């Protein structure tokens, strides 16, 4: 059947089971918006294209499906870029559609023209400039396939206006044929067996699990394998939710603001089982000293990550879930044959770790006069029983949330971990709420980051999305202030946010319920009340302005060299 | 150390920009680059010479291999290969030097492909070392212009690193 390009676009999305698009219309995509007017696809009108990309990203992270966003040419397209890079760094599947000026004007400096394919070439998994209307179905099919397979990532499809208006025969391809792309890899059986043996024979093994565990849906398998082989597990920032925070084998997060015991266990380990991770600099600190005593196994789907930062002893190219499933029978068989001494050795290692947990817990000095940010996170954790989807921004509040919230499940932690994009948390929460309408979604943001995308209050108000925004308001760009305090002699340069708006009243201006909390005594009740409101809520929580995130590995230092907080009467984070 | 990379890629717009961008984003220079379609017009063969540490080249090859439009990659410097480039060299000639210049060019089996009233254009092929020796030889005259193709290379024998089937690569 012959139809216009714009109609073909909508038909393709329907065949990819797209439920929701986040976007903003404009000149060259008017024909698409005319088709969307009565199409059975929900469109969420965002107030800035950056937020559209983050919302699609939050949708994808919370659901595991491909997130879709749409913008017009020129500024619409360029505004998406931060969101695209964010998704690229964290391997989030997005298909990003942009309109472009008509083909005959491309390269002509036409009104609202930008070379978005050129701009996004290094920050997409792949991108396309569609040249003919009849290519649209193939390109869109490929875009969804590439975005969601292998190591996922964003794919951009740029569509000149004229080919949305001209007609072509429509048929949606059944299959994809890309001779340069083979995302499915099956791990080598001998390597699996060698890994199983190494896991069982190690004296001090540690699992270092990352975002790949979440992406491949491997958290149940990870738990099984960890329990079978009796191995403690630490997760990266991206891996949070991949292993329960509260578990006898849980070490919490490792790295720059990881737990003392996770970093210490890594430094003492004789075997590191790295799965779905990329040895990021915020994790490893000084590379030569990272897990220096350990033999390293690296399970990874992307061959270019193997041996990139750290030489690996046993690389296993494959999908995290598949590899863990393959490991299981070997572990069961080997465990049954292990001598009694094996159990003693394991018990000794785990006892050692338990001692570290007791001696160096996460902690803070609580206060009755001023709200401590760590306590705020603990109250949110308590009020939501660890069941909420937590979407965060970037900075101190992000680290406190990573440390003090008790996560139970994958896809409940949305964080711009690689790029570190301030302004991500709130729009990503919007996307997550669209994906999971019945689940409580809490955006924990800083007063700095929130001001980068707070225009989206209009979006949640319009759709009555029950997102709960908690502003961890310390009236500073807090993490920058912390670094200035520690590394620049306390010369606080350009970090003072004390002249921010009254966020509760700002929320009210958007027709959203706003709370302002300043006293510790009122905190728990206000959270309880706010979270029980069926619509959107903004909770502006004024916290201790100069609280620091600890432990802290100074940039470039070994993860053994942690700065620990000095507390008078520390309240410790209970791991039971 | 110079390393010669061989890539089989889709013959499409944007592919070269993608590949070049991988190097430029890291501040790496490409010493030479030669691209043209193969016997199959949907495929282009790229020969690239880079001067980088082997560890970096290994990582870059993995990143190149990851690109959707890149079908197959190989570092030819590891094995036996043949490498050739072609140079066009325009030299200013005084009538008194004509014979001398032609004789010297002959030593390199260079051919004259243009004769002007006061210039020659020579064409020479060979490996990079020979081409550079050829250019050096003419420095004592007045070189007006030099255009080199950059190296094209292949592994020796039937053991090609690039075997393409209808559905994809096989290695």
Give the other-Cβ count within 10 Å of A92's Cβ.
28
The tens digit of pLDDT for each residue in A106-126 reads 999 999 999 999 999 999 999
Residue A138: what pLDDT?
Answer: 98
Domain range A189-359, its CATH number among 1.10.1660.10, 3.10.20.70, 3.40.50.720, 3.40.50.1220: 3.40.50.1220
Q: Which structure tokens are listed for A5?
A: 């390009």
- Among B21, B68, B164, whose Cβ lies nearest the Cβ of A178? B68
| Residue among A238, A334, A399, A479 flagged as catalytic | A479
Within 50-109 of B, beta carbons closer than 8 Å to A belong to 58-59, 62-63, 65-71
Domain A2-169 has CATH 3.40.50.970: yes
Residue recorded with tokens 């971990």: A417
Chain A residues inside the 8 Å CB shell of B171:
none
CA B35, CA B56: separation in Å to the nearest integer?
Answer: 22
Residue A114: what pLDDT?
Answer: 98
Residue B161: what pLDDT?
Answer: 83
| Residue among A19, A112, A338, A529 flagged as catalytic | A112
Gap from B145 CA to chain A (nearest CA, Å): 32
**Helices (H) and strands (E) in chain A — how many of each?**
23, 22
The tens digit of pLDDT for each residue in B53-105 reads 999 999 999 999 999 999 999 999 988 999 999 999 999 999 999 999 999 99
Residue A574: what pLDDT?
Answer: 78
Whether A296 is catalytic: no
Interchain CB distance below 8 Å, B164 and A122 = no
pLDDT over 80 (residue A23): yes
pLDDT over 90 (residue A379): yes
- Among B25, B69, B71, whose Cβ lies nearest the Cβ of A122? B25
Chain B residue nearest residue A179, CA to CA? B168
The tens digit of pLDDT for each residue in A297-327 reads 999 999 999 999 999 999 999 999 999 999 9
Q: CB-side exposure of B3: number of CA atoms within 13 Å? A: 21
Interchain CB distance below 8 Å, B59 and A182 = no
Mean of pLDDT values over A480-484 = 98
| Residue among A42, A111, A508, A528 flagged as catalytic | A111
Chain A residue nearest residue B20, CA to CA? A122
**Interface with chain A: mutation pick from B60, B66, B162, highest number of A CBs within 10 Å:** B66
Assign A252 a pLDDT band (cuts: 50, 70, 90): very high
Phi-psi region of A558 (alpha: psi -120 to 50; beta: other; left: phi over 0): beta
Interchain CB distance below 8 Å, A121 and B66 = no
pLDDT over 60 (residue A273): yes
Examine domains A2-169 and A189-359 and report if their fold is the same. Answer: yes
Is B163 at the interface with chain A, CB within 8 A? no
Q: Which structure tokens are listed for A58?
A: 């939050």
What lies within 8 Å, CB to CB, of A487 at 6+ separation is A554
Residue A78 contacts residue A119 (beta carbons within 8 Å): yes
Q: What proportion of chain A, given as a percentage, has pLDDT over 70?
A: 100
Mean of pLDDT values over A221-229 = 98
Interchain CB distance below 8 Å, A122 and B9 = no
| Residue among A11, A35, A49, A379 flagged as catalytic | A49
Residue B164: what pLDDT?
Answer: 62
- Among B10, B14, B21, whose Cβ lies nearest the Cβ of A180? B10
The tens digit of pLDDT for each residue in A451-473 reads 999 999 999 999 999 999 999 99
pLDDT over 60 (residue A248): yes
**Interface with chain B: mutation pick from A179, A279, A304, highest number of B CBs within 10 Å:** A179
Of the candidates A236, A282, A275, the one whose C-alpha atom is nearest the C-alpha of residue A256 is A282
Residue B165: what pLDDT?
Answer: 54
Gap from B167 CA to chain A (nearest CA, Å): 5
Kindly indicate whether the ipTM for this predicted assembly is greater than 0.90, answering yes or no: yes
What lies within 8 Å, CB to CB, of B45 at 6+ separation is B6, B7, B8, B9, B35, B36, B37, B38, B152, B162
| Residue among A4, A125, A161, A468 flagged as catalytic | A161
pLDDT over 80 (residue B169): no
pLDDT over 60 (residue A285): yes
pLDDT over 90 (residue B1): no
Gap from B80 CA to chain A (nearest CA, Å): 25
Interchain CB distance below 8 Å, A303 and B65 = yes
Residue B170: what pLDDT?
Answer: 45
Q: At what angle do helices A396-404 and A373-384 cross, to 10 degrees?
A: 50
Residue B171: what pLDDT?
Answer: 40
Chain A residues inside the 8 Å CB shell of B25:
122
Q: Which structure tokens are listed for A73?
A: 């040419």
Interchain CB distance below 8 Å, B169 and A117 = no
CATH class entry, domain A363-550? alpha beta
- Among A126, A306, A307, whose Cβ lies nearest the Cβ of B68? A126
Instruction: Write down the domain spans for chain A.
Output: 2-169, 189-359, 363-550
On average, the pLDDT of chain B sits at 93
Delineate the domains of chain B, giving CATH numbers in brackets: 2-79 (3.30.70.260), 82-148 (3.30.70.1150)
pLDDT over 60 (residue A54): yes
> What's the full length of chain A, in residues?
576
**Interface with chain B: mutation pick from A119, A144, A304, A311, highest number of B CBs within 10 Å:** A304
On average, the pLDDT of chain A sits at 97
**Interface with chain B: mutation pick from A180, A183, A302, A315, highest number of B CBs within 10 Å:** A180
């Amino acid at each position: 059947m012959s139809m216009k390009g714009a109609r073909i676009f909508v038909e393709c999305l329907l065949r990819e089971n797209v439920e929701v698009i986040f976007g903003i219309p404009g000149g060259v995509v008017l024909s698409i918006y005319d088709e969307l007017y009565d199409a059975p696809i929900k469109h969420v009108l965002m107030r800035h294209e950056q937020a559209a990309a983050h919302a699609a990203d939050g949708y994808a992270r919370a659901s595991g499906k491909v997130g879709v966003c749409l913008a017009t040419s020129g500024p619409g397209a360029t505004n998406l870029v931060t969101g695209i890079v964010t998704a690229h760094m964290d391997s989030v599947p997005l298909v990003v559609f942009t309109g472009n000026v008509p083909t005959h004007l491309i390269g002509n400096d036409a009104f609202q023209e930008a070379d978005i394919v050129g701009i996004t070439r290094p920050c997409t998994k792949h991108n396309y400039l569609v040249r003919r209307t009849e290519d649209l179905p193939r390109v869109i099919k490929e875009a969804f396939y590439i975005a969601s397979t292998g190591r996922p990532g964003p794919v951009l499809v740029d569509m000149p206006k004229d080919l949305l208006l001209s007609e072509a025969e429509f048929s949606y391809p059944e299959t994809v044929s890309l001779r340069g792309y083979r995302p499915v890899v099956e791990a080598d059986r001998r390597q699996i067996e060698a890994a199983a043996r190494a896991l069982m024979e190690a004296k001090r093994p540690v699992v270092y699990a990352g975002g790949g565990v979440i992406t491949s849906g491997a958290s149940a398998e990870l738990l099984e394998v960890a329990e079978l082989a009796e191995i403690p597990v630490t997760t990266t920032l991206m891996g949070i939710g991949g292993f329960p925070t509260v578990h006898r084998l849980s070490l919490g997060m490792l790295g720059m603001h990881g737990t003392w015991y996770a970093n210490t266990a890594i430094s003492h380990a004789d075997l590191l089982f790295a799965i779905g991770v990329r040895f990021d600099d915020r994790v490893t600190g000084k590379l030569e000293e990272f897990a220096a005593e350990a033999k390293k196994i690296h399970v990874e789907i992307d061959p270019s990550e193997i041996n990139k930062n750290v030489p690996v002893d046993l690389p296993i190219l494959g999908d995290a879930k598949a590899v863990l499933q393959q490991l299981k029978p070997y572990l069961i068989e080997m465990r049954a044959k292990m001598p009694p001494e094996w159990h003693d050795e394991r018990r000794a290692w785990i006892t050692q770790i338990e001692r570290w947990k007791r001696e160096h817990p996460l902690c803070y000095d609580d206060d009755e006069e001023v709200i401590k940010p760590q306590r705020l996170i603990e109250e949110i954790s308590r009020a939501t029983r660890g069941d909420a989807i937590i979407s965060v921004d970037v900075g101190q509040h992000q680290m406190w949330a990573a440390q003090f919230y008790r996560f139970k499940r994958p896809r409940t932690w949305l964080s711009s971990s690689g790029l570190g994009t301030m302004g991500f948390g709130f729009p990503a929460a919007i996307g997550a709420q669209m994906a999971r309408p019945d689940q409580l979604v809490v955006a924990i943001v800083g007063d700095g980051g929130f001001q980068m995308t707070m225009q989206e209050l209009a979006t949640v108000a319009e759709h009555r999305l029950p997102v709960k925004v908690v502003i961890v308001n310390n009236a500073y760009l807090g993490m920058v202030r912390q670094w200035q305090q520690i590394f620049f002699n306390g010369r606080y340069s350009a970090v003072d946010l004390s002249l921010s708006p009254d966020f509760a009243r700002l929320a009210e201006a958007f027709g959203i319920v706003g709370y302002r909390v300043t006293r510790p005594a009122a905190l728990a009740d206000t959270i309880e009340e706010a979270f029980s409101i069926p619509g959107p809520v903004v909770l502006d929580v004024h916290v201790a302005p100069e609280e620091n995130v600890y432990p802290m590995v100074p940039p470039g230092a070994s993860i053994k060299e942690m700065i620990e907080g000095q507390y008078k009467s520390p309240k410790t984070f209970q791991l039971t | 150390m110079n390393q010669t990379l061989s890539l089989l890629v889709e013959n499409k717009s944007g592919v070269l920009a993608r590949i070049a961008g991988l190097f430029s984003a890291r501040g790496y220079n490409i010493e030479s680059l030669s691209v043209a379609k193969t016997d199959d017009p949907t495929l282009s063969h790229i020969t690239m010479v880079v001067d980088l540490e082997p560890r970096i080249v290994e990582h870059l090859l993995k990143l190149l291999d990851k690109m959707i439009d890149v079908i197959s990659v190989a570092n030819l410097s590891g094995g036996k290969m043949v490498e050739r480039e072609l140079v066009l060299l325009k030299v200013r000639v005084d009538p008194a030097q004509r014979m001398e210049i032609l004789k010297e060019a002959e030593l390199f089996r260079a051919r004259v492909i243009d004769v002007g009233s006061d210039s020659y254009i020579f064409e020479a092929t060979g490996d990079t070392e020979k081409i550079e020796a050829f250019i050096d030889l003419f420095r004592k005259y007045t070189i007006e212009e030099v255009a080199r193709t950059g190296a094209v290379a292949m592994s020796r024998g039937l053991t090609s690193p690039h075997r393409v089937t209808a559905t994809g690569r096989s290695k």
